[in-house]
Structure 1
Amino acid sequence: MPGLYLAAILISAAGVAALDARWRLAAFAAPVRTLIAVAVGTAFFLAWDLVGIATGVFVKGDSPLYVGVDLAPELPLEEPVFLAFLCYLALVAYGGAQRLRRPVAAGGGTGAEKGTT
């Protein structure tokens, strides 16, 4: 089924964004900083991929799950979308880890029990 891989990435990104929105872990806490970090990370990994493609280390492979659009030889449309998702996921996971490491306030609890942040 063409497009299933891209759909899975986008659905996963929506789930991560929902967590981010609820707990304000990355984009919902600092949108400009998050956008810059995702853009820089995506560009870095995309350059990494292009070097790997040029040296013959990375190949696309055949899958009926791809949309079928190639941005360059051996570079499917899904790759930069996945890389952006990976960077965003890392930022949200880091924000979540930071949130868990915060000391508990003297009043008891982190606010998560009461539905607040």
Structure 2
Amino acid sequence: MGGLYLLAILLSGAGIAALDARFRLAMWAAPARTAIAVGIGTVFFLIWDAVGIATGVFVKGDGPFLLGIDVAPQMPLEEPFFLAFLCYIGLVVWAAARRVLPSGRTEQR
């Protein structure tokens, strides 16, 4: 069952990418901006995780669904994929909300 968590992240990412492609919300609307935003967000959260690991706040649990490969001490291989997915889904939800919800701006006359 090792790798099931990574597979779930990748399949979820593919589903969000399909919605993104269908409605042109993030990556399909502005690929460079989306890639930069996801990259910066992922690096930020990886640094956040590293600080949490160094201070003993974050500890990797063992589970049968992980691959068992660590990219750093106490950081499983799945973590960067999850963080990138988290940033990407955040952008897609934000873009969808902007499209659906009223802007809240009032016109000055």
The alignment's TM-score, normalised by the length of structure 2, stands at 0.92
Runs of 5+ consecutive residues of structure 1 not aligned to the other structure: 104-117
Instruction: Name the counterpart of 1:78.
Output: 78
Please state how far the C-alpha of 1:3 moved relative to its aligned partner.
0.2
Q: Deviations over 1:7-39 (max 9, x none)?
A: 000000000000000000000000000000000
Q: Secondary structure at the match of 1:71?
A: strand
Please state how far the C-alpha of 1:68 moved relative to its aligned partner.
1.1
Query: Radius of gyration: which is bigger?
Result: 1
Q: How does 1:34-49 map to 2 (within 5 A)?
A: 34-49=34-49
**C-alpha separation between the residues in 1 aligned to 2:50 and 2:90?**
22
**C-alpha separation between the residues in 2 aligned to 1:79 and 1:101?**
32
Instruction: Name the counterpart of 2:94.
Output: 94
Flag as ranges the 4+ runs of structure 1 deviating above 6 A.
none
Q: Secondary structure at the match of 1:82?
A: helix
Runs of 5+ consecutive residues of structure 2 not aligned to the other structure: 104-109
Q: CA RMSD in A?
A: 1.0
Instruction: Name the counterpart of 2:5.
Output: 5
Instruction: Name the counterpart of 1:115.
Output: none
**C-alpha separation between the residues in 2 aligned to 1:13 and 1:95?**
16
Q: How does 1:46-65 map to 2 (within 5 A)?
A: 46-65=46-65
Q: Deviations over 1:83-117 (max 9, x none)?
A: 000000000000100110258xxxxxxxxxxxxxx
